[in-house]
């Protein structure tokens, strides 16, 4: 293929692609995102190829390996279009049946369908699965339809229409105006209005300007940016080019986390294809607009996701933040005006241009528009990537999409916003997904991490866990963050170990305020959130840890003891066999006794004891009763 | 201008001011730790937080936040006090409190703030740092257990010095400042990091346990070494200069110094100083009284009369040089000069013939805003390091394009995106000519109002860029690009240093550089400048005062030649160890031998002094009053910090006494001398001593307008044909011969050496420390080898400071010496 030199040529090419595609022809898509690859999508793909050949349906079906579909815990996922039949946890050995039954005979393979854990009902179509049904997949939607390495696929879903429109029908001012009117706010964490930011960069004096994609995604457990980058790199490129045109940049950088090899690979292919077709490089589509892109692999520190650190890292300097102002829009990469946005932010741009600001701003709440992708994890039935309109309630996400808390455990809290987000209790479940509402509640949107916790989770320990992460990741440049987080961590660790003192809560508050109010970058400024939000909503847990040396969730090992209730023990020996520390004294038909000195608190006995007996108790805040004397242990 | 309110005070400041700077202007004190005026905003320590009404809900770092119109700032409140105290507690958690034995005690920012904020106890605990000290080098000790991570050391070394010794390593609590691979410090030892460290983490070792800061008396004076004229604030106690104190308020150097300025003043305390006049009796120099010595000198000079030659060094003050002139007059001789080999001819003839000037056209700070800088010879950094730091700042902060015309690599060529036109030795003029020709050919030259354009065009026929590039081994495109930049950017600078080891082609270089400065419009344009910088602290003063041969009389070379032929009756040498520093040692030896009456006035019994008939003990810069004029024409004052040892007298006093012994009159004191000399010196006419304030006084104003604009054709050099060529020059760590008596410089470079490039070293199988022999016309010298990356194949380098090397046996002022090398 030679370079496409004009919008007309592009449209002709698009028509040609669409003409070759029969929308009614069965199309088997297989999710090949990082998560599904890990659960064997590669082998399934091989089986698919083989089986299509073997069963002689080469001309009757199309198969396509796509990006992430979002329902990762159920992968590998196969969806068959045009109907949208959705098979989950597909293994290579299932393929023959899928072809012979579904493709050839239009029959459903029942055992591969989604089963609702609560009602036991099966769902045949993707759109009937509650996990998908309640989402609004404006950004992730194309992921399941296209091969991320195929420019043709991207063109088939309206790809590069927005770019053409921008280059030939809009002035840079109009583009900025459209993004402003859409009221798009940055998806990287801070939620800064993107149009405003573009405007700063556009108006900043200087001939040389840059645009940058932030794909560092350092939040542990979050992978929305990875999925977008892996699954639909062309959308990010198109968004980036539109931004570049708007602010007057001709060079772009994509900063991708080192641990995302597939994202880099797909992106690299996409860039090569775009260059080949003249959708990158000089005089794009004959518009006179030049644009080149470089991919940079990040060094992996969490702080490198912070914009000024990222730019320093791009320049080959240590990835540490700079004081702002000056903001990157005024003085960024190599001191030139630079606009940096998150992957998801960029990926929203083509849609905003194609469908218009009004379409976009009609979705969501007063202050937050469009959709937001969350990575829903923790104690929830359906984990994966979910995209919801702004304004959806946490309750809907966790219970309707996520299917609620597994087992008969009770919901306790949801943590949103990544490591420096906040934990919200049951009472705040009706909080809406909205930048301001979440902040007011003491959590934050962050980049979209969402962790559900059940009643077994100790929130003091959760705060400790996040602060330990942040303490490790503090770059150490500014005093309050470097030392303040460490001091908070010390206190929290003491609490979970039963070493806390009276007054520690006050000290925590002071440390949190000092760190929040005086740190240099948002890492330090938000690091106290896990502490402040849990102190606000779960203060009694802190008090129990300090005053009673008790962990109400029975999870802090130093504060709990395992004890076998002599009244309930039937002498079955299940715990005895399970205990790895040989801490249980037992014997046939004898009351079992835990030797406390030897117990490592692994909890094995608790799990092992048959539910019917329920003899192993977890105690906290109370002394362990005297062990039954040897001579009195015989049962019955 | 921006108007804001700070603690209720209305303040008006410039547009770029931060809140901290605005407060400072308004006299409101805000504590800082990581802020430094000369460094880029950093904002890491968070001690300077304030409240801003328009930015409610958080505290604002005053050191990085720009002051904006209408801002209402509060610099102290309960909240602020609490946070600052908490920050201090944080810093003190791991800090090893050793105040009783810490040299910083009494001027430690952490100590002072801890006191000010009454941090009596600490609510937080943690282990104390336990890092090994870096005490490998003799000058700078690093104790990172005291570090507060303000980053100033790393920043100054990068942003200002351009060396880049330090960086932060690790993250979070593990963060620390480290040198590459955590090895001991091994650098330029300028000590900028020492001066920046707010605590006792980086200290000057020579000063350890010498005094508490409050026991020191501070006296501002001017460094006695190079023509940069840095302010040095002497910290004195017990009639010794104990240390050099940080001072960024006085003078032109913004508190920056080089190793010589910071660690090189100790020679004044040396026990080898001359303390008494000496007279040769029965072939031996023996102590004598001043009366006898002065009488002997007066008689000797009177007898010699017009057959006397007077050679002065360029470290004497203007007032002293004025008396030197008086002495020449009293004796009745015109044989007067201040430098061997007349290395200053670039100024006295080159600039004179073209611009009608004998000085640099602009001031140093203007280079900070230059966009294009041409340094002729990399050694410019070695001779004028602190001006070199200004160049670094222009490159780093202002994206200036630096081009170096050099026969070797060096600090300057390693600056970011520096372009090096590395040529065969001796061809600098050719390259400058090629630039001139290119500008004329391309119509880029600013020829309006220039004289001699046509003649120059004709004369440059042989200097096409391609021909010169081929002959010099330089990239033609780079020559063109450099010329184009110099002619087109708004502000540009051309730098050239001169001095005793750089006598070759001095007039020619001055002419060629001046031609280029005219064609590019640099000469005389505000913000741009042509800088010809003298090696010594008062090189420019010596030219201003015309310590030069009278018409028809002999200059330094002529005097030495005449003397060597027995044609001079007396030689008077002040403040110069000619036998070591002048080109052609054999000639100097013969001159001293053949002259019946030789007087040497110095602070040490130099090699030259040992040959004298009378030796007069003089005073060091630290013991004097008077003025010196630096290479940008800044007249600055010396102030005495200590008394001279024994009977040593200032050169001024010596000349005064001598003049009166000769029956001539002399000004009563330095002030009177200044009044007389300013009246008699071109450019100084309007200057009175009270105009010479803290920042000195730049005569002729910041930009000196050329008196004429006359292009003068000048022939280039020719490369010599020899497998090995030795070039001579100055070493960064030394200046002239004086620094050989200073502990600091000697601790780093104690011995002479012959420097080899990697390739030659490999081919000759020479490694660091090998004894090598260098043979050339004039003799054989030998020294240890030093292998470095600076030199191209076939070029060797030797520093000229060391008498022990006998370099001037083979160095007679050539641009390059053909040599043979053996082990
Ligand atoms: C500690 C820290 C880590 C961050 N990590 C990321 C990240 O991984 N990805 C991201 O897009 N933004 C991250 N940010 C936010 C960026 O600084 C910046 O706000 C964002 O890239 C701007 O893009 P947006 O306006 O599109 O959100 C981080 C911020 C902080 C303080
Ligand atoms: S740096 Fe020295 S004086 Fe300052 S607090 Fe530390 S030990 Fe004390
Ligand atoms: S002495 Fe000078 S060169 Fe050496 S580390 Fe300190 S600032 Fe840098
Ligand atoms: S050594 Fe001194 S200057 Fe360097 S970071 Fe530490 S405290 Fe600051
Ligand atoms: S002085 Fe302002 S943050 Fe350090």
**For the segment B442-471, what is each residue's pLDDT rounded down to a tens digit?**
999 999 999 999 999 999 999 999 999 999
Candidates B453, B502, B501, B174; CA nearest to B346 is B502
Q: Looking at A526, A548, A570, which one is the last position of a domain? A: A548
* Statement to judge: residues A585 and A490 lie in one domain: no
Chain A environment of B87 (Cβ under 8 Å)? 479-480, 514, 518
DSSP string across B797-809 = EEES--GGGTGGG
For residue B180, give the ligand nearest its CA: 3
**Residue A501 scores a pLDDT above 90:** yes
pLDDT tens digits, A301-328: 899 999 999 999 999 998 999 999 999 9
The CATH number linked to A85 is 3.40.30.10
Q: How far is CA B618 from CA A33, B643, B756, in A?
A: 84, 12, 38
* CB crowding A192-218: b at 16 or more within 10 Å, else e: bbbbebbbbbbebeeeebbbbbbbbbb
**Residue B131 token pair:** 């890092």
Q: Looking at A330, A361, A392, which one is the last position of a domain? A: A361
Count other C-beta atoms under 10 Å from residue B528's C-beta: 27
Count other C-beta atoms under 10 Å from residue A181's C-beta: 16
B597-602: strand order across its sheet: B284-287, B278-281, B614-617, B597-602, B570-574, B308-312, B336-337
Taking the C-alpha atoms of residue B74 and residue B230, their distance in angstroms, rounded to an integer, is: 38
Helical segments of B274-427, H only: 290-304, 318-331, 345, 352-355, 380-383, 385-398
Contact between chains at B46 and A519 (C-beta distance less than 8 A): yes
The CATH number linked to A259 is 3.40.50.11540
**Residue B351 scores a pLDDT above 70:** yes
The CATH number linked to A386 is 3.10.20.600
Residue A289 lies in a domain: yes
Candidates A514, A451, A537, A462; CA nearest to A492 is A462
Question: In this structure, what DSSP letter does residue B792 have?
Answer: P
pTM for the whole structure: 0.92
Cis status, amide bond into B463, omega within 30 of 0: no
**Residue B248 scores a pLDDT above 90:** yes
Contact between chains at A483 and B91 (C-beta distance less than 8 A): yes
* Residue A220 binned pLDDT confidence (cut-offs 50, 70, 90): confident
Q: Which domain holds residue A97?
A: 21-131
B172 Rama class: left (phi>0) / alpha (psi -120 to 50) / beta: left
* Statement to judge: residues A625 and A518 lie in one domain: no
Q: How far is CA B182 from CA A125, A318, B189, B197, B204, in A?
A: 62, 17, 17, 19, 20
The CATH number linked to A626 is 3.30.70.20
- Nearest residue of A to residue B86 by CA position? A514
* Statement to judge: residues A125 and A155 lie in one domain: no
Taking the C-alpha atoms of residue A602 and residue A582, their distance in angstroms, rounded to an integer, is: 12
Taking the C-alpha atoms of residue A480 and residue A484, their distance in angstroms, rounded to an integer, is: 5
Question: Which of B44, B45, B123 is the best residue to mutate to test the A interface, defined by the most A CB atoms within 10 Å of its own CB?
Answer: B44
Is the CB of residue A98 less than 8 Å from the CB of residue A364? no
Is the CB of residue A448 less than 8 Å from the CB of residue A189? no
For residue B218, list its beta bridge partners: B235
* Statement to judge: residues A228 and A331 lie in one domain: yes
Write phi, then psi, for B622 (nearest 5 degrees): -75, -5
B175 Cα to chain A: minimum distance (Å): 6
For residue B3, list its beta bridge partners: B12
**Residue A300 scores a pLDDT above 90:** no
Q: Which domains does chain B have, with CATH numbers?
A: 2-76 (3.10.20.740), 132-269 (3.30.70.20), 278-341+541-698 (3.40.50.740), 345-537 (3.40.228.10), 724-822 (2.40.40.20)
Q: Which distant-in-sequence residues (6+ apart) come within 8 Å of A564 by Cβ? A: A575, A584, A591, A592, A593, A594, A605, A609, A615, A616, A617
**Residue B692 scores a pLDDT above 90:** yes
Domain count within chain A: 5
Q: Looking at A548, A574, A606, which one is the last position of a domain? A: A548
Taking the C-alpha atoms of residue A155 and residue A164, their distance in angstroms, rounded to an integer, is: 12
Is the CB of residue B814 less than 8 Å from the CB of residue B719? no
Candidates B758, B776, B770; CA nearest to B817 is B776
Is the CB of residue A390 less than 8 Å from the CB of residue A414? no
Q: What is the predicted pLDDT for the residue at B135?
A: 84
Q: What is the predicted pLDDT for the residue at B524?
A: 84
What ipTM did this prediction achieve? 0.90
Chain B environment of A473 (Cβ under 8 Å)? 171-172
**Residue B402 token pair:** 């630096």
Residues B289-307 have a mean pLDDT of 97
Is the CB of residue A257 less than 8 Å from the CB of residue A218? yes
Residue A496 lies in a domain: yes
Q: Which long-range contacts (CB under 8 A, 24 or more apart) does A173-179 make?
A: A173/A202, A175/A242, A175/A245, A175/A246, A175/A353, A176/A202, A176/A246, A176/A247, A178/A352, A178/A353, A178/A356, A178/A357, A179/A246, A179/A349, A179/A352, A179/A357
Taking the C-alpha atoms of residue A349 and residue B129, their distance in angstroms, rounded to an integer, is: 50
Write phi, then psi, for A420 (nearest 5 degrees): -105, 25
Q: What is the predicted pLDDT for the residue at A619?
A: 96
For residue B179, give the ligand nearest its CA: 3
The most distant pair of C-alpha atoms in chain B lies apart, rounded to whole Å, by 88
**Residue A494 token pair:** 């003491």
Q: How far is CA A319 from CA A305, A311, B177, B455, in A?
A: 9, 8, 15, 58
Q: What is the predicted pLDDT for the residue at A1?
A: 61
- At B368 the three-state DSSP class reads helix
* Statement to judge: residues A450 and A315 lie in one domain: no
Higher pLDDT, B126 or A14: A14
Residue A375 lies in a domain: yes
* Statement to judge: residues A27 and A98 lie in one domain: yes
pLDDT tens digits, A410-457: 999 999 999 999 999 999 999 999 999 999 999 999 989 999 999 999
pLDDT tens digits, B367-421: 999 999 999 999 999 999 999 999 999 999 999 999 999 999 999 999 999 999 9
Residue A614 lies in a domain: yes
* Percentage of chain B exceeding pLDDT 90: 97
By DSSP bridging, strand B336-337 and strand B308-312 are: parallel
Question: In this structure, what DSSP letter does residue A547 have?
Answer: I
Write phi, then psi, for B374 (nearest 5 degrees): -115, 120
- Nearest residue of A to residue B90 by CA position? A483
The owner of tokens 């029959």 is A107
Cα of first residue to Cα of last residue in chain A, in angstroms, is 87
A20 Rama class: left (phi>0) / alpha (psi -120 to 50) / beta: alpha
Taking the C-alpha atoms of residue B553 and residue B558, their distance in angstroms, rounded to an integer, is: 9
* Residue A226 binned pLDDT confidence (cut-offs 50, 70, 90): very high
Residue A428 lies in a domain: yes
A120 Rama class: left (phi>0) / alpha (psi -120 to 50) / beta: left
Candidates A272, A260, A208; CA nearest to A234 is A272
* Statement to judge: residues A317 and A181 lie in one domain: yes
Residue A442 lies in a domain: yes
Binding-site residues on chain A for chain B (CB distance < 8 A) = 301, 303, 318, 320, 322-323, 325, 335, 471-480, 482-487, 490, 507, 510-511, 514, 516-520, 525
A486 Cα to chain B: minimum distance (Å): 8
For residue B144, give the ligand nearest its CA: 4
Residue A259 lies in a domain: yes
DSSP string across B388-425 = HHHHHHHHHHH-PEEEEEESS--TGGGSTT-EEEE--T
- Point out the ligand 4 atom lying closest to the alpha carbon of residue B156: 3
B22 Cα to chain A: minimum distance (Å): 17
Question: In this structure, what DSSP letter does residue B55 have?
Answer: G
A466 Cα to chain B: minimum distance (Å): 15
Q: In whole numbers, what is the pLDDT of chain B averaged over residues?
A: 96
Q: Which distant-in-sequence residues (6+ apart) come within 8 Å of B457 by Cβ? A: B437, B440
**Residue A286 token pair:** 């004959």
* Statement to judge: residues A200 and A223 lie in one domain: yes
Q: What is the predicted pLDDT for the residue at B361?
A: 97
- Nearest residue of A to residue B126 by CA position? A487
* Element at B245 (helix H, strand E): strand B240-245
Ligand 1 geometric centre to CA of B322 (Å)? 68
Residue A14 lies in a domain: no
* Element at B638 (helix H, strand E): strand B634-638
Taking the C-alpha atoms of residue B712 and residue B612, their distance in angstroms, rounded to an integer, is: 43
* Statement to judge: residues A437 and A467 lie in one domain: no
The CATH number linked to A513 is 1.20.1440.230
- At B593 the three-state DSSP class reads helix
Is the CB of residue A363 less than 8 Å from the CB of residue A175? no
Chain B environment of A518 (Cβ under 8 Å)? 46, 49, 58-59, 83, 87
* Residue A119 binned pLDDT confidence (cut-offs 50, 70, 90): confident
Angle between helix A343-355 and A233-247 (nearest 10): 80
* Statement to judge: residues A389 and A444 lie in one domain: yes
* Statement to judge: residues A244 and A349 lie in one domain: yes
By DSSP bridging, strand A384-389 and strand A210-215 are: unpaired
Contact between chains at B64 and A490 (C-beta distance less than 8 A): no
* Statement to judge: residues A381 and A469 lie in one domain: no
């Amino acid at each position: 293929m030679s370079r496409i030199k004009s919008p007309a040529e592009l449209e002709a090419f698009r028509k040609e692609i669409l003409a070759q595609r029969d929308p009614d022809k069965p199309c088997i898509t297989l999710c090949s995102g990082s998560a599904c690859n890990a659960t064997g999508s590669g082998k399934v793909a091989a089986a698919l190829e083989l089986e299509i050949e073997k069963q002689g349906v080469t001309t009757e079906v199309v198969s396509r390996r796509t990006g992430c579909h979002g329902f990762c815990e159920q992968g590998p996922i196969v969806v068959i279009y045009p109907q949208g039949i959705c098979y989950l946890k597909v293994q290579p050995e299932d393929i023959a049946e899928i072809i012979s039954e579904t493709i050839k005979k239009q029959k459903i393979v029942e055992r591969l369908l989604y089963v609702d854990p609560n009602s036991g009902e099966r769902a045949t179509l993707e759109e009937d699965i509650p996990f998908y049904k309640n989402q609004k997949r404006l950004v992730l939607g194309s992921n399941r339809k296209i091969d991320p390495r195929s420019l043709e696929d991207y063109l088939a879903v309206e790809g590069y229409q927005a770019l053409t429109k921008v280059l030939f029908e809009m002035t840079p001012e109009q583009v900025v105006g459209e993004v402003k009117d859409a009221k798009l706010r940055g998806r990287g964490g801070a939620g800064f209005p993107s149009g405003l930011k573009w405007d700063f960069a556009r108006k900043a004096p200087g001939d040389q300007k840059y645009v940058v994609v932030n794909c560092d995604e350092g939040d542990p457990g979050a992978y929305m940016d990875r999925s977008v980058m892996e699954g639909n790199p062309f959308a990010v490129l198109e968004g980036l080019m539109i931004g570049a045109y708007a602010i007057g940049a001709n060079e772009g950088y994509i900063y991708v986390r080192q641990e995302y090899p597939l994202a880099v690979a797909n992106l690299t292919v996409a860039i090569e294809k775009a260059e080949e077709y003249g959708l990158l490089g000089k005089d794009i589509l004959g518009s006179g607009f030049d644009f080149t892109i470089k991919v940079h692999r990040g060094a992996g520190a969490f702080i490198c996701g912070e914009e000024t650190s990222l730019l320093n890292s791009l320049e080959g300097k240590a990835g540490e933040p700079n004081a702002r102002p000056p903001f990157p829009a005024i003085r960024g990469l190599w001191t030139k005006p630079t606009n940096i946005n998150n992957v998801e932010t960029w990926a929203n741009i083509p849609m905003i241009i194609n469908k218009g600001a009004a379409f976009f701003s009609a979705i969501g709440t007063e202050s937050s528009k469009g959709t937001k992708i969350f990575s829903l994890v923790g104690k929830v039935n359906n984990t994966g990537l979910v995209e919801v309109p702004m304004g959806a309630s946490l309750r809907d996400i966790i219970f309707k999409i996520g299917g609620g808390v597994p087992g008969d455990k009770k919901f306790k809290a949801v943590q949103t916003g990544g490591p420096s987000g906040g934990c919200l209790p049951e009472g705040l479940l009706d909080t809406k997904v909205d930048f301001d509402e979440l902040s007011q509640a003491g959590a934050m949107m962050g980049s979209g991490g969402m962790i559900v916790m059940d009643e077994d989770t100790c929130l003091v320990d959760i705060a400790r866990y996040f602060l330990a992460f942040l303490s490790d990741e503090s770059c150490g440049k500014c005093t309050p963050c470097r030392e303040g987080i460490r001091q908070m961590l010390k206190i929290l660790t003491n609490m979970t170990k039963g070493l806390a003192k009276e007054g520690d809560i006050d000290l925590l508050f002071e440390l949190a305020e000092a760190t929040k109010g005086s740190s240099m970058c948002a890492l330090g400024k938000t690091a106290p959130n896990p502490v402040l939000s849990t102190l606000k909503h779960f203060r009694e847990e802190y008090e129990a840890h300090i005053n009673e040396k008790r962990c109400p969730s029975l999870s802090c090992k130093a504060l709990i003891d395992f004890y076998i209730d002599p009244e309930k023990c039937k002498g079955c020996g299940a715990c005895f066999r399970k205990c790895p520390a040989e801490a249980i004294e037992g014997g046939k038909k004898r009351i079992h006794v835990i030797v406390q000195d030897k117990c490592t608190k692994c909890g094995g006995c608790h799990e092992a004891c048959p539910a019917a007996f329920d003899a192993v108790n977890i105690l906290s805040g109370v002394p362990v009763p005297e062990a039954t004397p040897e001579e009195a242990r015989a049962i019955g | 201008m921006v108007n804001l309110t700070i603690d209720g005070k209305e303040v008006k400041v410039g547009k770029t001011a931060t809140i901290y700077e605005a407060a400072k202007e308004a006299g409101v004190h805000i504590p800082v730790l990581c802020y430094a005026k000369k460094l880029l905003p950093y904002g890491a320590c968070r001690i300077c937080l304030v409240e801003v009404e328009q930015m409610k809900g958080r505290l604002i770092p005053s050191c990085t936040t720009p002051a904006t119109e209408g801002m209402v700032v509060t610099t102290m409140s309960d909240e602020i006090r609490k946070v600052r105290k908490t920050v201090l507690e944080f810093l003190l958690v791991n800090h090893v409190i050793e105040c009783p034995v810490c040299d910083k005690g009494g001027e430690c920012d952490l100590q002072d703030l801890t006191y000010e904020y009454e941090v009596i106890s600490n609510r937080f605990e943690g282990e104390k740092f336990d890092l090994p000290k870096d005490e490998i080098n003799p000058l700078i000790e690093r104790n990172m257990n005291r570090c507060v991570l303000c980053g100033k050391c790393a920043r100054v070394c990068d942003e200002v010095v351009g060396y880049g010794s330090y960086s932060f390593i690790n993250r979070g609590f593990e963060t620390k400042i480290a040198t590459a691979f955590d090895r001991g410090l091994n650098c330029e030892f300028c000590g900028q990091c020492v001066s920046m460290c707010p605590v006792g983490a980086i200290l000057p070792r020579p000063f350890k346990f010498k005094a508490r800061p409050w026991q020191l008396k501070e006296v501002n004076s001017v460094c006695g070494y190079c023509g940069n004229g840095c302010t040095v604030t002497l910290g004195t106690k017990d009639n010794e200069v104990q240390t050099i104190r940080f001072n960024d308020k006085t003078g032109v150097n913004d508190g920056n110094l080089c190793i010589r300025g910071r660690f090189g003043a100790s020679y004044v305390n040396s026990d080898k100083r001359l303390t008494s006049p000496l007279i040769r009796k029965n072939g031996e120099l023996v102590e004598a009284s001043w009366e006898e010595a002065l009488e002997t000198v007066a008689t000797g000079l009177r007898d010699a009369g017009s057959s006397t030659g007077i050679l002065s060094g360029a470290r004497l003050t203007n007032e002293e040089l004025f008396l030197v002139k008086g002495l020449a007059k009293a004796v009745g001789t015109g044989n007067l000069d201040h430098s061997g080999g007349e290395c200053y001819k670039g100024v006295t003839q080159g600039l004179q013939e073209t611009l009608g000037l004998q000085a640099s056209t602009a001031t140093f700070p203007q280079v900070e805003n230059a966009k294009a800088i041409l340094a002729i010879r990399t050694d410019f950094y070695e001779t004028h390091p602190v001006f070199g730091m200004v160049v670094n700042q222009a490159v780093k902060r202002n994206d200036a394009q630096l081009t170096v015309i050099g026969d070797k690599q060096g600090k300057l060529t390693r600056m970011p995106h520096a372009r090096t036109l590395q040529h065969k030795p001796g061809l600098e003029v050719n390259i400058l000519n090629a630039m001139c020709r290119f500008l004329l050919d391309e119509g880029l030259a600013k020829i309006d109002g220039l004289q001699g354009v046509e003649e120059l065009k004709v004369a440059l026929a042989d200097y096409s860029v391609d021909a010169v590039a081929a002959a010099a081994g330089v990239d033609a495109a780079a020559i063109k690009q450099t010329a184009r930049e110099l002619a087109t950017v708004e502000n540009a600078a051309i730098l050239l240093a001169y001095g005793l080891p750089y006598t070759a082609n001095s007039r020619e270089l001055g002419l060629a550089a001046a031609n280029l400065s005219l064609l590019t419009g640099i000469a005389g344009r505000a913000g741009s400048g042509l800088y010809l910088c003298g090696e010594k602290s008062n090189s420019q003063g010596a030219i201003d005062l015309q310590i030069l041969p009278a018409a028809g009389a002999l200059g330094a070379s002529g005097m030495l030649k005449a003397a060597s032929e027995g044609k001079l009756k007396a030689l008077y040498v002040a403040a110069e160890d000619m036998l070591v520093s002048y080109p052609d040692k054999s000639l100097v030896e013969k001159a001293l031998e053949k002259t019946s009456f030789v007087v040497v006035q110095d602070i040490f019994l130099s090699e030259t002094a040992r040959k004298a008939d009378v030796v007069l003990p003089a005073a060091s810069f630290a013991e004097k009053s008077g003025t010196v004029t630096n290479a940008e024409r800044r007249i600055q004052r010396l102030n005495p910090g200590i008394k001279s040892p024994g009977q040593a007298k200032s050169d001024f006093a010596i000349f005064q006494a001598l003049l009166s012994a000769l029956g001539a009159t002399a000004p009563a004191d330095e002030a009177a001398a200044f009044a007389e000399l300013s009246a008699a010196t071109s450019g100084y006419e309007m200057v009175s001593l009270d105009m010479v304030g803290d920042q000195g006084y730049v005569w002729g104003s910041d930009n000196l307008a050329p008196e004429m604009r006359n292009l003068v054709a000048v022939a280039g050099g020719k490369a010599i044909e020899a497998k090995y060529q030795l070039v001579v020059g100055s070493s960064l760590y030394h200046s002239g011969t004086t620094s050989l008596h200073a502990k600091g410089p000697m601790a780093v470079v104690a011995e002479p050496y012959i420097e080899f490039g990697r390739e030659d070293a490999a081919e000759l199988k020479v490694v660091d420390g090998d004894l090598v022999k260098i043979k050339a016309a004039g003799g054989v010298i030998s020294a240890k080898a030093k292998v470095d990356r600076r030199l191209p194949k076939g070029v060797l380098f030797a520093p000229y400071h060391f008498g022990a090397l006998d370099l001037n046996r083979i160095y007679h002022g050539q641009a390059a010496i053909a040599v043979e090398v053996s082990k």
